[in-house]
Structure formats: structure tokens, C-alpha cells
Structure 1
Amino acid sequence: MGSTCATCGRREYILREVKNRKDSLGSPTRLQPTGPSQPSTKNQIENQSKRIRVKGIKTHKFSHHPSPSIEGITEASHAEIIDKPKTEEDIKMILTAFNNHFILRSLDEDSKFIIANDMRFYTIGPREIIFEQDKPGLCFYVLATGRLEVTINGQRKNLISPGTGFGEYALIDNRARSATVTTLEKCTLWVVDRISFKEAVKRVNDMNHLENKSFIDSVPLFNTLTSQQKEALLAGLNTQKWHSGQRIVKEGDVGDLFYIIKEGLVSCSQNGIEIRQMSKGDFFGEQSLLYGSPRTATCTAISEVKLISIGSNSLIDVLGSSLQQILYRNTLRIACERSPVLRALSKEQKESIFDCMKVNTFQPGSVIVARGTHKGQRLWIVLRGAIRGPVGAIEKFGCIGDEFLDHPSEGEYMIDYLAEVESDVADISRVSIENCIGGNFNKVTIYNEALSVLKQVHLLRGLSPEKFISLTQALKVMHYSDRDAIVTQNNPGNSFFLIKSGKVNVFKDGVKLRTITKNDYFGERSVLFNDFRTATVIADGQVSCWVLEKDDFLSLIDEEIRQNLIERIELQDDTITLNDLIPIKQLGKGVFGNVFLVGHITTHRLYALKSVSREKIEQWQIQTNLMLERQILLQVDHTMILKLVKTFKDTSRIYFLMEFVQGLDLFDVLIELQLVSDADAKYYIGALVVILEHLHERDILYRDLKPENIMVDHEGYPKLIDFGTSKIINGRTYTTVGTPHYMAPEIILGSGYTFSADWWSLGIILYEFIYGRVPFGEDEDDAHAIYEKILEHKIIYPTNIDPNLAAKPLIQQLLNKNPAARTGGSVDKLKAHKWFANFNWDRLLSRQLKMPYIPKLRSLHNEIEVAFSSMKPLESLIREEESKEEVDFCIWNSMPPPEDWDSEF
């Protein structure tokens, strides 16, 4: 099958195919794997090969322009734009036209109204062209008066009459028009261009999001929710409108909806008597939401009222548990953070304790902690109410007994602790706590500090939590006096040191290089290599270190993991220069640059080198894209994500030096496998879950997850490549980008999206694994037809495959139209889904699982030998390949780059 470059994601013949495609930015025609129910046939593969997936054209933000010309595209160029106020009839006609078009009818009512209100009035004479076939699209039109002719290849196909909308696909991207539209007589039209449309949708969604967030922040019930949980809650809200006199809830009825008033007045009555009136920002129904209890009052609209509401089922979808459980869990977390003793526990240890705690409700005057109870044997945390102790009330978030857990005493509590009001208290015994955390409380918390430092050591990243815990147990604490030599240059090294307290000075050949202090480490190469010490380390004052002996380390780590760690640390060589690299062959040719297999002149280690000419950078205006790609790649360090080694620059080009991955992309692997079993799908999906988790924790949104962007390396492990469309986000983003079959509905609508868009793409891939096809637009070549299928959201499961497949519920969860519901509340909840039962996440991270397929790769030995014998200059090979390119002018990014954009390359 040949070798494949991780940086461009396709084999060589496919990369050339990509270059020649004008409607695609990297997604060539491909064969589709068949489902698990039956083997593929030649006819099936031929039929499936008809589907072409094209990557969405990226749209950019522009300020509103008075003329109908954007991105170099002009439509209705002979039209006169008139500042005409819209009548009620105009608005009604426009909104009616919207409902006949899938993009517009999928918007909320507020967005529709704002867009209708923003549309401009065009008047244009007879026999004038509105837009032409095969030209990029710009605007959506609603014909107000006159008649229009639609022609395809010069043949009349249709007439457009007043009240009809047309050209909606241009609201998504600038793909070519499928027909020419010409006026038959003088016409008037209402028009909105793509940029104005997207800005309007963004404006409405931002406004609603901020307003709803302020409402949520103002409700005391939600005070303990984290910002992430509040964002999920916002995604689950529904907007409802009520007319004056309508009853919203009835006293005595059982309901589970909670309401916040956005607009209008609501009357609250009991037994027919009004007890109060509520207005904007007020809320009701919290008891029903928490406990499902009957309504205690009747609420009636006394004006036009707009409410936002959420139900208990929606809360479970987006938060993963009932609101009461979420609130109590968050209260426990906050209490632990406030306790100096409990704060020393790891997140996993705390969550394990929370799982074992029991919650009891105490009436006023009840005894919580009885006089004479031994200290240090139990922990209590107040979830609601107040407890009277020896020095005043202990309220919500307060702990009892935490200060004795690390140093249990023989003492007893001298007084009773009583509930002052009805109170909820969680409690757990010391024995249960130590069972949860895996050992003596004092010893575990001491080593937690060492564990947190160990996880920062590059060479140890990728080890399982079990291995880390074993390493901490092998650590020894050593103390050094001022000026003690901890290690000496040129001596053998057998120990790795983590500084627990104090600071040390590092000398090489008698010259001081640097000072390092608490939580820094040194001697890491000694546990992997038989190197002599490369420097001397001297204590500067009193120093304590955790010390890990090489023999202890090797007894815990098998040879396979050791080799993986060695390979990883070798990728951290930042001393490499361009002059150290020998070209071996070209691996791929993309739209913006070329990728070459290169070798280090002395170590012979192989790398992939991507070169992008400054000529193309200027012509395509991709400076900002390159800066962002570099920033993202430098942030990620994961064994299943392509590793950036270093970037270079010269007067001709920008270069990215990356690890070289031999393998196949996942799509080709699926074809090789023919049938994807449930277990096989679980391995690959599990790997993608931990990859996305790593990215999202660093605020990186991938945005183009698909099998073509996932390499399967020489050991069968997936590795994510191609970060050209990724973005670092803080909040929501609106850019339309991705590959149509894998794009989430919210990306298509332009309504704003976050990391949940990546989870939708994962759901598409899981469906594809199980059923051998994508769920939306499988047989469609046109991106807009695919978008329409996605927004229709009709998921059809093949009837020839078991309808009770274990993966089906997870597919439905990931493909939920509500973005916040896709993880089931969090990534931890997603990983705990029953489909992943008994899946070993730790062994996956440490690359100890047997993967479904090991690519059969041809040897590169001869090519490498020839390259190192000829020592051909790298520059000559790059120039040779660049001379074969046809450079097309296209502005990819409208924003001017910073003057010093390449300063860090």
C-alpha cells in the first residue's frame, strides 16, 4: 500500500488528485467501506465510489458593504439599491419565502425577523442578469415584483414569480451557481448577502446567549454550577411565548419545567387569590424541577410573555444527572477546594469519595455528630442548611472532621453538632475514604504532589494512571545540604530527580547554566538511556528531592513502553537546523505546500518536512493560518496526535518539521478491514475520544474530524493529523468550515458552535464504522444537498443490520441536535457510556491494546540509502517540485497579517 505522510493524510497518487480539484480543499473521491452485516461486492464499491466529499469553503467576516460585491464576487451589478422602509406586508412575504428554504426555515423566529429586516431593496430593469451559472454565489433573493427566467446551459428551466425566494445556498458559501437567473421585465427584489446574513445570525445568537446567561447567573439555584455546566444548561433552554390570559402552570399539577421570564408579566395565585406578580428576570417552578413535586401555585400570563424553560429530562441530557445530584456534587467539590486537607486529594480520588458518600436529611434539632464520637474516623459535609458547632454555625460547603483525616487523634467530640434548620449532610467513614483513594490518607496525599509533578515530565506523558501511581510508590525522598553535589558531570547516571523543596544550580564545564526550583526535574534521560551526566547539579541551600532509581523505573515499564518513550523524547530535539536534513523523497503535494521525507544527516532519524513558499503565502494571504497552525501544534503533546518538532524560515519559505508516520489513513484501513466489528469500532472511537479530550482541554476545536484525517501508524494506532482548519476558541465561533458529510447542524446554520461540533463528527464516524455509510447525504455529491439532509436530521438505520446493536444509543447521543447533550454531561460521562463497558482506557493511552489492523508497509531502506549516498541538497528538491506547480491567485484570508507574523518561526 506504500507509505503515507502524516502531515497531508493521503497517499501520493491521491494527493496529486487533490491538487487538481478546484472545488475541494483536500477531500478526494474515495471508496466507502461496507457495513458489518455482509461483505462488499464490486457493484457496491463502484456505487459507493460515486460519492465525493468536498471540504467546506471557509468564509470570513467582512464589514457591511453598501454595494453587492464581496470577496471579489458581484451579482445583480446593474441593480439600483433603494433605501425603502419595509411594510408589514413586505415582512410577511419575506418570512413566507424563508419557510420554503431549508437553511432559513431552520432558524429561530428572532433570527428570521432580524434577517428579513436587514434585507435591502433592489430595483433592476428587463433582460438584466441577477447571477450567472458557474459563477460563485453571493446573495439570497426574494422577488417582490416582476418575473425572472431560470436557464441552465442556455435552456429555460423555470420562471420565478413574486413572493419566491431563490439562491439560498450562497448564504453558506461561495460555491458556483447551478443556473443563470435573468429578469424578463423590470423587477424589484429583497436581497441579503452572505456576510450580512451570517453577521445577523451571529448578532441574534450572541444577544440571546448573553441575555440567557445573565438570567442563569441571577438564579440562586444555579449558583454552584460550573461555567461549563452553565453553558450546557444554556444549550438546553427552550423559548416559549404566551398570550395574555393563558395559564402557564396550574396549582396541584405535577410538572418538571422550570421557567425564567424574559419579557412580560406573570400573575402567581393560590386558591384563586393573586399572591404576587412576576416580571423580567423572575423565575418559578424550581421545586418541580428538583423534586417533581406538584405545583404550589397557578401562574398566568397577564401580558404577552416570553419565557425560557428547561425540564428535568433536558437537564439529564446535557448535564448527565438530575439537577439535585449535580448541585450536591458541585457543593461537595467546592467544599473540598475550601478544605486545606481535602484539597490535597486528586480529582479522581475526590470523585471516588463522592460516589461513596451518603446524603441524609436532618430536621431542626437533630444530632449530626454525637458527643463522644472519635475524631478522625468520619467526614461530614453540609450540602444544605446549617449545623450548630462549638464555634458558631457550619453552613453550606462546611466540613466537619476533615482536619483530623491526615493526623487522626485519640480525642473525642465534646459536644453534639445539631441541625439548626432542615439540613442535608453527606458523610463517609475514614475506612471508606482510604478504600476509595487506595491507601493511607496521609501517605496518599504526600505522593499526590509528586504525582502531579511526574505528569509534567515529557518523557512520561502517555503512561497510564496505574503506571503513574506505581511510580510514585517507588519514589524515595532524599535531603541535601547547601552546596552538596547531587549529580556530577561525566559520571554514570542511574537516577531521576524531582525537586520537592529548595533550589539547585546547574553547571556545565564549570559554567553556571541555570537555576531550577520546586517542581522542576533533572536527570530524566538517565532512566531511559545509558548516558553519562551532561551537567553538574549543586544544592543552593537546603534541598529535598523525590528520587526515582532507574532499576525501579524499568521494573515498572516494559520494553515496548520504554521504546515508545524513547521515540517520544527524541522528537524533542530542538537543535536541528535545515542544514542537518537530507531529502529522501516527496511525500505529498497539497494546495498550499509540499511535504518531503527527510533524514537527519548524523542520526538518520526520519522526519516529515512541510514547506510553504512565501510566494503562495502572499498570494493566498494565509499568514494568520500558518501562525495558528504553529500555535496549536506546539500546544499538543499526545502519542496519538502528530508531533511538531520545530519550525524554520528563510527568505523563500516557511517550514514545519514533524514526526514521520508510516501508515495508512483510517479510510483506507476501513476498506482493508471490509467488515468493522463492534470491538474494532470501539478501539478507534475510544482513541478519538481521548484525542478530542486532549484538544478540548487546551481550547482547541478540531473542526474536520473524518477518517481521511486519521492516520493508522505502523503499530495500528490512530494518529490525528492536519490541523489546517483547527482553531483555539474561548466561547463560540461562527466560521463555516469542515467537510460537509461530517459537519454539525449548528456549523451549517451559522448559529455559533463550540467543541460539541467535534462530537457530532465523531458520531458520524461511528455510524460509518457500524453501517458502512454516512447517515446524511450518502448518495449526494452536492454539498448543499448534504446540508439539507443534515438539517432534516432523519437518521435511518439499515434494516439488514441488527436494530439492537450496542453502539446505536451512543450514535443517537452523539448525533443529538442539541449540542450540549452529545457527551451526556461531560467527557467522563461519555467514557462511562455502557457501550464502553470494560474498555481499558489506561491500556489505550499507554499503547498496550492490540489494535484491529496493522498496515502492511513497504520498506524505505533502498530510498534512504540512495538519499544518504547522493546527499542531494534539500533546496534543490524543493525548487524542483515548486517549478512544476501552477500558482492560482486566490485570497484565502481577507484580514491583513501582522507585519512580524513570521517572527517566531
Structure 2
Amino acid sequence: MGGCFSNRPKIKDISSTCKQSSARISNSNLASATMSNRFTTEEVKDNSRPGSANRKAHKKGAHVKNIQRKASIITEATTAAINTRDKTLEEMIEIREALNQHFIFNSLPDEVIDVIVSMMKLFVLEPNQLVYAQDQMGSHFFVVTKGKLEIKVKNEPKGVITKGMSFGELALMHDSKRTNSVYTIERTLLWGIDRYEFRNAVASYNSQKFEENRKFIDSVPLLQILTNAQKEALLAVLKSQSYFPGQKIVTEGEPGDLFYIIKEGTVSCYVQGKIVRQLGKGDFFGEQALLYNSLRTATIVSNTKVGVLSLCREDLISVLGDQLQLIIYKNSQRIAIESSPHLKDLTKNQEEAVIQKMKVVSYQNGEIIINKGMPKGHKLWLVVKGAVIAEESGKRILSLHCIGDEELINPIQSNYEENYIAEGSVDIEEISRAEFETCIGGKLNNIKSHNEVLKIMRNVQLFRALPTNKLESLVNMIYVQTYGDKQVIFHEFSLGDAFYIVKSGQVDIIKDNTVLRTVAKHGYFGERSIINNEKRTATVAASGKAKVWVLNREDFLNLIDEGIRHQLLKRMELQDDSITLPDLSIIKILGKGMFGNVFMAINKNKGTLYALKTVNRAKIRSYDLYTNLLLERHILLQIDHPFIMKLVKTFKDEERVYFLTELVRGKDLFDVLREMNLLTDSDTKFFSSCILMILEHIHERGIIYRDLKPENIMIDEDGYPKLIDFGTAKVVEGRTYTVVGTPHYMAPEVILGKGYGLSADYWCLGVMIYEFVVGSMPFGDEEEEPYAVYEQVLKAKLIYPHHTRINAKCKEVLEKLLEKNPVMRGTIETIKAMKWFEDIDWDAMLGKQIKPPYIPRLPNQSAELNQAMKSKVSLTAVISKEEAQDSFEIPRGRGKPPPTAWDEVF
């Protein structure tokens, strides 16, 4: 039986050879096994095809998870005398030279280096003193300014470190075990900094600069209309520049492709040699270069020392496209539509169709836009630039507002009673009523009602996994039924034949003549009856006059094929939140992790299989896991997708907390790839498309996964990917800075600690696609030390081995996803729109209607299930027995008292 924690093996202990001024002693990655609720098939032999590039049989190392702790206690060089004195100029130069040898530092700006150098403490050690021991958790990076040290691996001498050298740099990245021991040979002076201080310095600087630059972007009227995502894309390509007093920044009459925002200082603007104005902090110039690539209309000279943010037209085009004005207008249209009480309920596709169909018309000051006497409801106008004024009443309609939207939903047989004219230079987006209704698929009143039902249906757990086209077809089958006060909608024990949503009013759920609960507007009931031929468990009657939307079971079953119905039945089984711990019986252990264990369990009453993850409270306390567990629970409760492991319920008792989840039966993708060897283009596209849909679902909820790799994806019994193990996931707004992931899959921005967002997951997907078609990693494939892998990720170019033939369209996707600048990777929408994915039926994929390239063979487990159903051994007894065999020691003295009522939600 394959193991449940098949992470890539621990990094080997490889000692570094120290060279003058550039020596480094790399540390191994802490391979803490993750807990996954997976059920694997038997181990598969490596049946690699002859003549092909065989896949590596070993995994590339466990993920690194940086649980940042304040270094209030020195854990390395504990016998040193620590001094925080000022450094001499010679020492500062020596430290800087040592820092320059490491990519961790040479990618940082001078301001951050200055802070890091200033924070370094002096460690003075006498001869024969231990700096750190092999297998000890690393925390410090050291620079030698005096003395000599010896490197030992398993007590065998391996090298000498002398003045000007540095060591321990990997500890600055994440929790890592030291791969060697270091002792002083003679009296030694070390300047050291720990991970917390280093990461905090880098994160604080980047966070401050990001917010500072964001404020400047927000202050530029030209860019204010951009979306948050578009602004963040620009922030990634902004460059800082400095000018001395009297220095010419731009010259009148010369071609220009740079736009400038002044961060500090003042400049003078000259036209034909005469000063026309002064600009200072927050002002900008050169915007015409972005819009029209025109010649400079003025010369700009710095009066003082000036700091600016610059944006070149080429970078603008690379992140936003080549028509900034068009983007601004499109954004204006979206804001106007979404601000209208009559149009805001349009779906994204409907809104986009309207925007694409609208035409822009420009008006000069005083020109008539709407003539007096024009029929109302004939046209829709969106003001995207300037303002419109009603000639007689003086009513002003400002930019980003609609005219005629109310008349579209409530047609009035009347005409406009006054002219509407342009106030200044005005741009209007226009569309006729007929064109508008074609775009949205019908009359606005009907479409609003349709969209209202669709939105509610998306929130019904049973329907969440349905493809969009199926869901929309179901909505078209729904009709309205009206009930009077006390009128019964259906009786208890009657056969369920319909699903209901309350359109208006409210209804009572009644059992034994007692009202159990009341369902108000947009509440729903009866969903189980349309999938299962069940009898009603209660009577439902109107409380006052009520209108309900009705979906008949027969219509539902005619539309949904057997495959989707089977899926829905399985999902419905997982919605039983009435289950309790005593209802469960343990079948066997599935896997053991550093922080807990995972068991296969069965509901003794219904025979439903689950995975049960258990975390002992002693470990929670010792490893300070309170926040991590709450975050994991919070994330899992937000997710409901056919390709993602589902959380059923959480429990707690005095000994531990529990996560009861869907049991994923199958084989992890890493082992599947070993068996399939190099994937065909169509097989690669199948897996990639599914994973892209997974990322789409979690990213819509602001969740970044951060450790996407084949080991964290199971191929389930249907042959479809299933994402598991959300221990490293995070809800992120803007940027996060923690180094988390598996080295070979980490995006450059994660390694550098400069702050990253959702696009870091796209890099992981790019690595996986490369792995699918090439059979190796794109960067650092032959490297086992994390530090060496990081260097390759940051510096190496993307190349393709001669033995592989990759589809040109697939290569285009790879080069986009593996772009070192995260902004250039695009969005889910732009990636899905690429030519390689153009033949993918996303709805059919979501409904598991596409034949998968591989279906795992599953062993018969009926004997185990029968034994578990009959077992009299308590669940807690089995778990306690397994915990007693854990090889992980609980560290003493590290535990914090639990936060007040931290587990009340479990």
C-alpha cells in the first residue's frame, strides 16, 4: 500500500566547500511531512518507456514552511559574548563584501542592505566553541571578520572558514536543519543576524514601498479609474529614478515614452525656453507619452534633488495592452453599469457583451446629446468623460453615471422633456435598446429575475458543482408559483418532486404542528428530493402571501446526465453535518505527519467513508499551531469544488481537534506521472486545465495555495485531479511575504521575499506543465540543496532539452507562466484564453464528462470495511495507540498558553 505522505525525500547532507569571501554552508530543508487525506493504491513500478526521458523516481524535497517566530532567545552561538556596538568602516565594508556573494542580498536595494548591516550583532567566541550543531534548527547567518572556524559533518572535519567568509545563509529563508556543525578554532568575531530580523527588514521595506507607490498611483487622475489588479500590475513595472539639481529630465520636441510621478523635490517646466509652471511631490508629467507616444511638449528640469517613479510605454503595453485610453473607458463603463441599481445584477458575461457592443461618441461643449422629445427607453448612455447637463432644470450627470437605465427596466411611454447637452469635452458610450437586449439575452426585467435565481442557485450546496451551462439551463426551467396564507406547499411524508426558492414573502417548516423554522426571501428548501426519491420530512406552508420559484424533479433529471447525477449524490453524502465522533469507526492509519495523523474512517450508521485528520493538543501548544489550524479550517469551509478535497466537519475534545474530510481514493499525481512517463500534449492539457480550474476557484476567494505540486494532487477514482492538503494555503489581500513552498516549485518573488500574490501559484503550474512534458524540473533539476535550487530559479533561463518535442502553443503557455516578473503571467482569464486551451470545454471538464487519460486501480477493501463496522474499539483508543508510536518528539518548554476560546469554532 502506497504511503500517504509521499513528499519529495529530504535534502541530502552535502557539505559546502568554503572559498575566500564567498563560502557558504547550506542547510538541508526541514522535511516535515504534510497530512493528506488520501487513499493510495499499491506502489506502481517504474515502467518507463524505452528510449524516452525517464522521470526521476525520487521526489524533489518536502515543502518548506516558515513559521516565523521572534528570536527572543539566541539558539546558536549560545556561548558567545554578544555586543551591539557600532561597526567600524572597515567592518561595514567587509560585511557588505560578504553579503554581495549571495543572491539573497545582492537583489536587495541599498537601503535594505544598510538596515541589515546596522542590525547585525557581534558574536565573540573563544577557541573550541560550538556555533551550531548538525541537525539543529538554523536561525542565523554569520560573517567572519576575525578568527578561524572548522566545519564538521558527523564529527569528521570537512573544511575551514576564515576571515571574510560567511555561512548559514539558508537559515534566513526558512526553518532548516543544519547539515553540518561549526566550531571555532581560535578566538573569532562573527557578525550575525537571525531570520526574523532579516525577513522583517525586507518585508517592512517592500511593504512600505508598495503602499507608498500605490498611494502615488492612486493620486494620478489618469490612472484612478484602473482596477486594483491593473494598478498592482503597474506597480510591478514602476521604476525609481533620481535626478540632481539642474538635471534635465525630458527635452521639448524629443520622442517620449516615459511617464513620471514626482515622489520628492520640485521641477520646472519650460516651453520654448520660458518657465510655464512648477511641479512638486505628487504631480506628474509625460502622460501623453503613455497615451499617444507623442513628442515632448515641454522641457522638465529638476530644481532640487528629485525622486520620481517612471513608467515606460513598453512596460505599460506588456501589462495592460496597447490602448490605455480604451482600458480607461472600459473600466468607466463597468463602474457605471455596476453603480446603476437597474444594471448591477447583470452577469459578468452580459456586462462584457454590452461593453463590447457600445460605441463611443465625443461631444464638444454645448452640443446636444439627447434631444428634447426623444422617446424614453430608446437608448442607454454611459458618461465616461466629462459631464452632461439638462438644459432647463440644470441637473448634472457626472462621469461614471448612466442615462436611460431606469427606462430600460420600466418602459415609459413618454419623451424627454428637455435637451441634455455636453458640459465641456464629453465622451459618451451609447447602445440602442434592441442591441442591449440582444447582448443580455432578453428584456432587462426578465433577465434580472433570471440572474437573481442563478445567484441563489450558485449558493445551494447541491448545485455548486454543476457546470455553468447546466445551471443556466436549470434556471430556464424554473417557474413561479403563488400561495395564499397558510396554504400548504407540500405535506410531510409526501413524495418529493420539486425544489423551491422563496421569491417573496416567507414560508414555515412545520413538524408535529410545530413551526421548526421560517424560510424568508431567497431561502430554499427541498433540494434533496430532486436528486433522491425521498419522502418529505416536514410540512411546508405559506406564512402570509408567498411567491416561490419551483424546479420540478423530472425537468432536473432530464437535463442532468447520469455522470453528473452520480457526482451530486456523492457530494450530497458529504453534506451530512449531523455526524458525531461516536458515529465513526477507524479502519486504518493513512499517514503520519509532524503535527498529526490521518485515518480512514467510516460512518457506522451509513457506511460513508471519510478521512479523519487528528491533531493532539500537546503538539498544538508546543508548536503554537492555533492560528494555523483556524486558518486551515476557515479556508476549507469556503471551498466547494469537484476537484478539491471537501471538509465535512470539525470536532474537538479534551485531547485533540479533528478535521473530518472527504476521503480521496486514488493515487497521487507524482506516482501517476512515473507510470505514464512523458505525457502527450492532450494528456498534459487535460491535467493542466483541471488544475487551472482549481486555481480559479480558490483565487476567486482570495486564497493562495503556495505549495502546488504533483504530490499535493490526487488522481481520484474517476481519473480527475483532486487538490488536497491546505496546510500552507492563505487568504491574501494584496501581498504576503512568508517563504512557503517546495524549492523547485517556488516562484522567484517568493524566494526573494519581496512580497507576492496569487500569481505565485501560476509559476507552480508552469513548473508542473514543464514536468509533464519534459519529465524534469525547469530549474535546478540536478540540484538537491535548496540554496542551489533558489539560485537556478532566479538566474537560469528557461530551456527545453533536445529530446523533447513540445507543442508550440503549449510552449507559449509555459513561457507565460514561467515569466520571472509575476505581472507578466497574466490572470486566470488571460491564461484560459490562450490558444493552447481554445478547444477545452470547461463546463464538460467540470462535469467530469471528458474521458481522463488515466484511472487508478483500486484494491477491494470490503473486508476492512466490514471489520471496522463490527469493531467495538473506541475511536479515541485507536488514535491514542497510534499517537503513542509517533516518532516525533514534542519539544519541551516551547509551548504557549492557548488563546482564550481559540477552539470554540471546532
- TM-score, scaled relative to structure 1: 0.91
Alpha-carbon distance in 2 for matches of 1:555, 1:462: 18
Of residues 68, 73, 79, the one that matches 1:60 is 68
**What SS does the aligned partner of 1:541 have?**
coil
Match of 2:636 among 633, 636, 639: 633
Q: Which residue of 1 aligns with 2:16?
A: none
- For residue 515 of structure 1, what is the aligned residue in structure 2? 518
Counterpart for residue 494 of structure 1: 497
CA separation of 1:252/1:229 partners in 2, compared to 1, >3 Å: closer, same or farther? same
Q: 1:244 to 1:594 in 2, by over 3 A?
A: same
Confirm or deny that 1:681 pairs with 2:676: no
1:168-179 mapped onto 2 (5 Å cutoff): 168-179=169-180
| Worse-matched range after superposition: 621-630 or 128-137 | 128-137
Q: In the superposition, relative to structure 1, how do residues 278 and 155 fare at CA in structure 2: closer, same or farther (>3 Å)?
A: farther
1:49 aligns with 2:54: no
1:357 aligns with 2:365: no
Structure 1 match to 2:424: 421
Q: Separation in 2 of the partners of 1:698 and 1:895?
A: 31
Contact 1:9 1:710 in 2 (8 A): no
Residue 788 (1) aligns with residue 791 (2):
yes
CA apart distance, 1:60: 1.0
In the alignment, is the contact (CA less than 8 A) between 2:583 and 2:604 conserved in 1? Answer: yes
Amino acid aligned to 1:700: I
Aligned AA (1:561): I
For the residue of structure 2 that corresponds to 1:385, the secondary structure is strand
Give the structure 2 partner of residue 671 of structure 1.
Answer: 674
Instruction: Give the Cα–Cα distance (whole angstroms) in 2 for the partners of residues 149 and 842 of structure 1.
Output: 62
Tell me the distance in 1 between the aligned counterparts of 2:161 and 2:811: 44
d(CA) in 2 for partners of 1:159 and 1:827? 50
Aligned to 2:17: none
How far is the alpha carbon of 1:498 from its aligned partner? Answer: 0.6
DSSP-derived class of the 2:694 partner: helix
3-state SS of paired residue (1:455): helix
The residue that corresponds to 2:23 in the other structure is: none
* CA pair 880-783 structure 1, distance change in 2 beyond 3 A: same
How many Å separate the matches in 2 of 1:102 and 1:612?
38
Aligned position for 1:74: 76
Structure 1 position 819 matched with structure 2 position 822: yes
Aligned match for 1:397, one of 395, 400, 403: 400
Q: How far off its partner does 1:851 sit?
A: 2.1
Partner of 1:655: 658
Measure, in 2, the Cα distance between the counterparts of 1:775 and 1:880. Answer: 44
CA contact (8 A) 1:33 1:674 kept: no
Give the deviation of 1:574 after TM superposition: 1.2
1:741 pairs with 2:744 = yes
The worse-fitting range, judged by mean Cα deviation, of 446-455 and 729-738 is 729-738
Letter in 2 for 1:58: N
- Structure 1 range deviating more: 835-844 or 244-253: 244-253
| CA distance, structure 1, for counterparts of residue 440 and residue 893 of structure 2 | 53
Deviations 1:74-125 (A, max 9, x none): 22x3433333224555444333322211111122332222212222233444
Correspondent of 1:720 among 723, 744, 763: 723
Partner of 1:606: 609
What TM-score, normalized to structure 2? 0.90
Q: Distance in 1 between matches of 2:729 and 2:476?
A: 40
Which position in structure 2 is the counterpart of 1:224? Answer: 225
Whether the 8 Å contact between 1:151 and 1:157 is mirrored in structure 2 is yes
Q: What code does the residue aligned with 1:332 have?
A: Q
Q: Does structure 1 conserve the Cα–Cα contact (< 8 Å) formed by 2:503 and 2:522? A: yes
Q: Is the 8 A contact 1:494 1:550 kept in 2?
A: yes
| Aligned twin of 2:31 | 24
Cα drift, residue 356 of structure 1: 1.9
Q: Do the aligned residues in 1 keep the contact of 2:704 with 2:757 (CA within 8 Å)?
A: yes
Question: Which residue number corresponds to residue 190 of structure 1?
Answer: 191
Contact 2:53 2:678 in 1 (8 A): no
Q: How does 1:539-554 map to 2 (within 5 A)?
A: 539-554=542-557
Q: Whole-Å Cα distance in 2 between the matches of residues 418 and 834 of structure 1?
A: 45
Q: What per-residue deviation string (whole Å, max 9, x for no partner) do you get for residues 414-446 of structure 1?
A: 655443322222222223222222223332122
Moved more, 449-458 or 432-441: 432-441
> What are the residue-to-residue correspondences of 1:93-172 with 2, within 5 Å?
93-150=94-151, 160-172=161-173
Does the CA-based 8 Å contact 1:9-1:665 persist in structure 2?
A: no
Superposition deviation, residue 129 in structure 1: 4.2
In the TM superposition, residue 703 of structure 1 has moved relative to its aligned partner by 1.5
Write the distance in 1 (CA, Å) between the matches of 2:134 and 2:723: 38
Once the two structures are superposed, the pairs formed by residues 685-834 of structure 1 within 5 Å of their partners are 685-802=688-805, 805-822=808-825, 824=826, 826-834=827-835
Displacement of 1:573 in angstroms is 0.6
Query: 1:51 deviation in Å?
Result: 5.7
| Contact residue 34 and residue 674 of structure 1 kept, 8 A | no
Please list the CA deviations of residues 37-77 of structure 1 after superposition, one character each: whole Å capped at 9, or x if unmatched.
x974499548x335641221423131x64x6x1xxx222x3
CA distance in 1: counterparts of 2:812 and 2:467, whole angstroms: 28
Q: Distance in 2 between matches of 1:360 and 1:96?
A: 61
- Taking a change above 3 Å as real, the CA distance of residues 590 and 186 of structure 1, as seen in their structure-2 partners, is closer
Rounded to whole Å, the distance in 2 between the matches of 1:617 and 1:61 is: 15
The 3-state SS of whatever aligns with 1:405 is helix
Q: Is the 8 A contact 2:333 2:382 kept in 1?
A: yes
CA distance in 2, matches of 1:298, 1:658: 66
Q: 1:382: how far off?
A: 1.5
Determine if contact 1:375/1:410 at 8 Å carries over to the other structure. Answer: yes
CA distance in 2, matches of 1:486, 1:755: 47
Alignment gaps of 5+ in structure 1 = none
User: Match of 1:830, as an amino acid?
Assistant: I
Q: In the superposition, relative to structure 1, how do residues 176 and 492 fare at CA in structure 2: closer, same or farther (>3 Å)?
A: closer
- Checking the alignment, whether the CA contact within 8 Å between 1:705 and 1:742 is kept in structure 2 is yes
Distance 1:897 1:745, change over 3 A: farther
Equivalent residues, number: 882
In 2, the alpha carbon distance for the partners of 1:250 and 1:116 equals 40
User: 2: CA distance between counterparts of 1:793 and 1:326?
Assistant: 35
My pick for the range that moved more, 83-92 or 658-667, is 83-92
- Measured at CA, do residues 78 and 661 of structure 1 come closer, stay the same or move farther in structure 2, by a change above 3 Å? closer
Deviates more, 1:480-489 or 1:567-576: 480-489
Paired with 2:796 and 2:318, the residues of 1 have a C-alpha distance of 18
Letter in 1 for 2:61: R
Q: What's the offset of the Cα at 1:368? A: 3.5
2:501 and 2:549 in contact (8 A); partners too: yes
- Contact 2:5–2:593 (CA<8 Å) still a contact in 1? no
Contact 1:130 1:182 in 2 (8 A): yes
State the distance in 2 between where 1:892 and 1:173 align. Answer: 22
- Alpha-carbon distance between aligned partners in 1 of 2:116 and 2:702, rounded to the nearest angstrom: 31
Change (3 A) 1:207 1:367: same
1:618-629 correspondence to structure 2 within 5 Å: 618-629=621-632
CA shift at 1:872, angstroms?
A: 4.7
Given residue 255 of structure 1, which amino acid in structure 2 is its aligned partner?
G
Q: Work out the CA distance in 2 between the residues paired with 1:702 and 1:892.
A: 32
- C-alpha distance in 2, partners of 1:195/1:561? 50
Taking only the aligned residue pairs, the percentage that are identical comes to 45
Deviates more, 1:640-649 or 1:269-278: 269-278
Q: Indicate how the Cα distance of structure 1 residues 50 and 3 shifts in structure 2: closer, same or farther if over 3 A, else same.
A: closer
Contact 2:34 2:593 survives alignment (8 Å) = no
- CA change 1:155–1:598 in 2 (3 A) is closer
Q: 1:621, 1:891 within 8 Å by CA — same for their partners in 2?
A: no
Report the CA distance shift for 1:320/1:856 in structure 2 as closer, same or farther (over 3 A).
farther
Q: Which amino acid in structure 2 is aligned with residue 269 of structure 1?
A: Y
* Partners of 2:255 and 2:296 within 8 A in 1: yes
On the 8 A contact 2:145/2:191 being kept in 1, the answer is yes
**CA separation in 2, counterparts of 1:523 and 1:409?**
39
Which residues of 2 match residues 321-332 of structure 1 at below 5 A?
322-332=323-333
Cα separation, partners in 2 of 1:375 and 1:747, compared to 1, 3 Å: same
Residue type of the alignment partner of 2:224: N
Instruction: Kindly indicate whether structure 1 or structure 2 has the higher relative contact order, using CA contacts under 8 Å at least 6 residues apart.
Output: 1
What are the superposed Cα offsets for residues 380-414 of structure 1, whole Å, 9 maximum, x if unpaired?
Answer: 21211233434434331132332222244554556
Residues 1:807 and 1:370: Cα distance change in structure 2 (over 3 Å): farther
Flag the 1:904–1:563 CA change in 2: closer, same or farther, 3 A. same
